[in-house]
Amino acid sequence: MTRLAPARSGESPRPDGADLPAPVIPWEFGVDPLPQTGQLAARLRRVLGLALALERPEPAVDELIAALDAAERALADRVPPDPAPRVGDAVDGDGRVYVGHARDIGGFNPCFPEYEISVDGDQASGTVTFPVVYEGPPGIVHGGFLALFFDCVIQHHNCEVGQSGKTVELALRYRRPTPLLRRLRFTLTRAVEATRIHSTGQLLDGDVVLCEARMEAVRADRSKLPAVSPRRLGA
């Protein structure tokens, strides 16, 4: 997944009296995923897509199920007993580490789509290819995954320019069926008004609009974010 550098905005004084754009500080909340987790997510997504296309039971799937059962038993003893994240009042508790969801969620969680995005201030664009695991009608992306996709890329855009917050409204208009396994492009536009961030997006196949999205988020105060526990490497 490719993420290009965010645009710069704001102004700061230069010694010669001219104004120089000040760097934007991207929104960060949570720890980075482990490299292993990213490798696992990509494989799970690809293998499940293959399994969905099988005509008959295969021994390789039985072997994979047995291996996953063994891994589940082994990993169950390596995670904290409390499944709640160590965030806010629970930062010093016995919960699990919280992996940041500001961007690139599909890079470590196979339930989320992967995409490439380029951010230029209040504009962003990118590409996405939906694999078979996101199928609804035959050969078509399930509409619920399109909603998930737009929520991810719009919040990714918000986080890159340093102004983000919780989604309060997301509305989609399905213009055309969205095909699987085809490289599609998307465009995003955002505007900030007081405490709200308003975003719109389009998903396109060439010049054909497949889906349109409108989202509103609360503009959060970075200084009021709850504490997040780092990884406990000695645990």
User: DSSP letters along 185-233, please?
Assistant: EEEEEEEEETTEEEEEEEEEETTEEEEEEEEEEE---GGGPPPB----T
| Residue 109 structure tokens | 């969680």
Give burial (CB, 10 Å; 0-12/13-18/19+) of 100. Answer: middle
Structural contact between residues 117 and 104, judged by C-beta atoms closer than 8 angstroms: no
| Residue 169 structure tokens | 């409204």
Average pLDDT over residues 106-120: 95
- What is the pLDDT at residue 20? 57
CATH class name, domain 35-224: alpha beta
pLDDT score of 194 more than 70: yes
Average pLDDT over residues 31-54: 96
> Can you give the residue ranges of every domain in the chain?
35-224
Residue (of 155, 144, 36) closest to 104 by Cα position: 155
pLDDT score of 132 more than 90: yes
Give CA separation, 173 vs 24, 135, 141, 177, in Å: 32, 18, 14, 11
Average pLDDT over residues 39-66: 97
Binned at pLDDT 50, 70 and 90, residue 19 comes out as low
Please give the mean pLDDT across all residues of the chain.
Answer: 91
